[in-house]
Amino acid sequence: MLGLGKKSPPSLDRFPMDKWTVAQAATDGKPMILRINAGAKKYVGHPELPAFLGITITFRAPNEHGFPSKDETPDLDAIEARLEKDLEATRTGFPALVITTDGKREFVYYVCEREKASAAVDAVRAQSPSHQIIYGFVDDPTWSYYAQFA
């Protein structure tokens, strides 16, 4: 009776991209806006997504609350669209969180292929000279980072 009682992980082909919630919080006394992919909850601990990719974009001129100016928002939207295109469309990275606070925005994608994800972010960086973009990977097979906010 092999396989009985074991549930297969959900297919990455059906990873939800359209079930986001927005929340407000504070960290170290500074306001924070969170976008949380609520649909990703059923993927927590997915064996093909053992790490997350954190991509941080530093704002050029944040306002007094640490959020981007209206003038900067179109550039940030364009960067986000390129990340979506290069990571999501290729099924390299799967979006979990977007955190905006203290003069920066962090995108959190759970990834299956670090090399392809690095190449995608490097391409976005090359197309986005207006902003400093840094990134790194963190092993997180239980999705503990995501769980802090979801």
CATH class of 25-147: alpha beta
- The per-type count for the chain, helices as H runs and strands as E runs, is 3, 6
Cβ neighbours, 10 Å, residue 39: 17
Any idea where the domains of the chain sit in the sequence?
A: 25-147
At 32, list the tokens.
Answer: 């924070």
Q: What is the pLDDT of residues 82-103, one digit of tens each?
A: 999 999 878 889 999 999 999 9
Tens digit of pLDDT for each residue in 14-23? 888 889 999 9
Q: Are strands 30-37 and 51-58 parallel, antiparallel or unpaired?
A: unpaired
Task: Give the per-residue pLDDT at 2.
Answer: 54
Contacts of 129 (CB under 8 A, 6+ apart): none
